[in-house]
Each structure stands twice: as C-alpha cells, then as structure tokens.
Amino acid sequence: MAYVFAIGAPTGPTGMTGMDGAQGALGWTGPVGPTGLTGWGGWGNIGPAGNSDFNLSAVTSGTSITVTTASLGTTYYITTTGLTGITLPASMTGITSGAFWMFQNNSGAALTIALTNGTATYNGNASAASITVTAGSGLTLAYTGSGTGYIVF
C-alpha cells in the first residue's frame, strides 16, 4: 500500500485515542524525613518536648502554681491532687489580649482551683474567683486585655 501526501491539502479527521499502556516501573524511594516532634507521652507519662517553643511544666506536688508574664504560653501538666490555687500576675500591663496559660489535669481527680490576683469568665459567671478542671481534661486561661480579667475555655 502506498501513501500519498499532498502538500497544502486539508488535514483529515483525528482518529480515536488508543488505550493507556501498562504502568511503568516505580521510581526510587526518597530519603526518610526527620523524626517528628514529640509531645505528651500519653498513659500518664510526659514525653520529651521536641520543640524549644513548646513550654511544658510538670506540676507533681504542691498546692499552688504561680504564673508570670514570662511564662505565657506554658502548658502546666498537673499530676498532683493537692493543687488548690493559681496565683496570677498582679499586673498585665503591656500584655495584649489573648495571652494564655494552659492547664492539663492528669491527677485522676477533679480540681477546684482558687484564682489569686484575677477573676475569670467561667461557666456563665463573669467574675469567678475559682475554676474547676475535671480529671483527664484541660483548660486555657486567656487574658482579656483589661485589668486582671481572664476567660476560660
């Protein structure tokens, strides 16, 4: 069979697309990435903090925690049932709203904690002087940006 090509002749219709071919061999496996950051170890164990920006403070004894403006952003991991108070900074001058501390209760019992130097909007009360952290849960105490007022969530 001979094919005749004519220069300048119109192009005919495009034929049907053929079937896809079989998948080729897989490429090489890339390098393994770095080990991820480790947080709490679970099952009552505190894991190593893999990031220097994650501030974790273990509270294993005592009846009170004193938080400061320098400790903003810290998570307090509570394993003692004796905690009854949190002392807040006497002044939050220069601190913007939303600054916070976190409290994780892993003591096995609910804790009712009195607040010193501040009050919190908590459970519908705009000026609660104490907060309750149930066993196995946590809460965040965030600064409202005004005086010594805080919000619990």
pLDDT tens digits, one per residue of 50-60: 455 678 899 99
**46 Cβ contact partners less than 8 Å away, ≥ 6 residues apart:** 40, 56, 58, 77
What domains can you pick out in the chain, each with its CATH number?
56-152 (2.60.120)
Q: How confident is the model at residue 8 (pLDDT cuts 50, 70, 90)?
A: low
Could you tell me which residue, 3 or 107, shows the higher pLDDT?
107
